[in-house]
């Protein structure tokens, strides 16, 4: 537990506050990619980038997956920027809000699932508990008519727990499992649970827009799902807790969940170390300059953006050694490549991370075969 808090504090201290927004955009796209990957939707990071720029595929299936990605990123941005409800994230009300915000932005075709037995099309109503019984693999969630009772118990256990911060952090994995076990929605429970975990970490002041547990879960997906299933088992004797479900299985899942969280904080902390980040950027920019795709002096501008969070346009002649016109050419090249962005044509310039740049500056952020799962 101490490792989680210490690593989170160390990560938060590595980055200039202004740069947090740009990194946050990158991590939200990454989180969306991995959370959807766990659900079997392997949307290529470049397609996510295009969708965020309102550039959607003409292929219906790919376009729907792009819109799904945009919906996920929208909800996480609300969480990251404090525009989510005041309700405690581990609550029925917050779960319903997450589901409604996400599903209401999906294309109509994605708001249906097929009944496994009859093949009938079943409508998903954003934010509403399911109105039929379901089976998820071997797991049979509670009957739909009992959902209000189970979600009320969920609120009592986790909604406003009189626990220390350390105990609440330990309980994030338990919240994650218990919501999935209840399976309150017809579909979308996995994404809701992972977004809820993200929001919980943020409220407990270890989560930020700089890291995401979804990457850790997706990279060990088989173990993630195996431990979730183990925690579904009934209690095994008097020494296995006091409830109906196994306490040992739940504790093992909670340990795995926290381990994956610490691992992802450490991963991002390594990527965001200023010295090593600048080295990777410099190597990349030197290659681009030699290939005449960028102007000399480009790295000096990017280095300033990393160290200070943003670059005033008036500084660029000094940074590059060029007169006004040459400095504008450097700026234009970096903006055209998506490496710098600004709110207006006169506003300070900030770093941006299109996918082709992110692959060089942040190696291993995405798997090498991203977008290839069918």
- The neighbour count for residue 366, using CB atoms within 10 Å, is 21
345 is catalytic: no
Tokens 């450097």, residue located: 330
Which residue spans within 200-301 are E strands per DSSP?
none
The residue among 62, 12, 15 whose CA lies nearest residue 41 is: 62
Annotated binding-site residue numbers = 136-139, 187-194
Annotated binding-site residue numbers for ATP = 136-139, 187-194
Question: Terminal CA-to-CA distance of the chain, rounded, Å?
Answer: 38
Tokens 């992802």, residue located: 264
What are the two backbone dihedrals, phi and then psi, of residue 39, each rounded to the nearest 5 degrees? -85, 5
CA-CA distance, 43 to 286, in Å (whole number)? 31
CA-CA distance, 218 to 365, in Å (whole number)? 12
Burial classification of residue 127, based on how many CB atoms lie within 10 Å of its CB (0-12 exposed, 13-18 middle, 19 or more buried): middle
Q: Which of 41, 99, 177, 183 is catalytic?
A: 183
Q: How far is CA 135 from CA 50, 284, 307, in A?
A: 36, 50, 52
- The neighbour count for residue 62, using CB atoms within 10 Å, is 17
Written as six digits, the tokens of 130 are 């399911």
SS3 for 328?
helix
Question: Which amino acids are annotated catalytic?
Answer: 183
């Amino acid at each position: 537990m101490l490792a989680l808090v210490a690593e989170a504090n160390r990560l938060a201290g590595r980055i200039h506050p202004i740069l947090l927004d740009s990194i946050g955009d990158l991590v939200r796209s990454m989180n969306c990619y991995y959370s959807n990957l766990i659900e079997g939707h392997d949307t290529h990071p470049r397609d996510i980038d295009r969708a965020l720029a309102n550039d959607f595929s003409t292929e219906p299936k790919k376009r729907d997956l792009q819109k799904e990605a945009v919906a996920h990123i929208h909800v996480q941005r609300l969480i990251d920027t404090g525009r989510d409800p005041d309700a405690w994230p581990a609550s029925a009300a917050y779960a319903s809000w997450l589901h409604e915000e996400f599903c209401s932005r999906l294309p109509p075709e994605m708001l249906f699932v097929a009944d496994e037995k009859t093949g009938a099309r079943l409508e998903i109503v954003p934010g509403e508990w399911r109105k039929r019984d379901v089976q998820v693999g071997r797991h049979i969630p509670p009957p739909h008519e009992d959902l209000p009772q189970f979600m009320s118990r969920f609120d009592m256990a986790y909604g406003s727990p009189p626990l220390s911060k350390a105990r609440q952090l330990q309980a994030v994995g338990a919240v994650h499992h218990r919501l999935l076990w209840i399976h309150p929605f017809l579909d979308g429970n996995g994404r809701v649970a992972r977004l809820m975990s993200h929001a919980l970490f943020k409220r407990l002041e270890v989560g930020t827009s700089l890291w995401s547990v979804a990457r850790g879960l997706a990279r060990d997906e088989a173990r993630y799902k195996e431990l979730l299933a183990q925690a579904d088992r009934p209690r095994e004797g008097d020494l296995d807790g006091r409830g109906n479900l196994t306490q040992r299985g739940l504790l093992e899942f909670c340990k795995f969940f926290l381990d994956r969280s610490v691992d992802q904080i450490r991963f991002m902390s390594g990527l965001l170390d200023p010295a090593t980040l600048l080295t990777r950027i410099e190597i990349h920019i030197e290659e681009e300059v030699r290939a005449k795709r960028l102007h000399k002096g480009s790295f000096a501008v990017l280095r300033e953006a990393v160290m200070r969070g943003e670059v005033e346009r008036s500084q660029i002649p000094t940074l590059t050694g060029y007169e006004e016109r040459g400095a504008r050419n450097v700026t234009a090249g970096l903006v055209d490549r998506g490496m710098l962005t600004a709110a207006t044509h006169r506003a300070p310039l900030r770093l941006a991370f299109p996918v082709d740049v992110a692959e060089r500056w942040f190696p291993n952020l995405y798997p090498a075969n991203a977008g290839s799962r069918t």
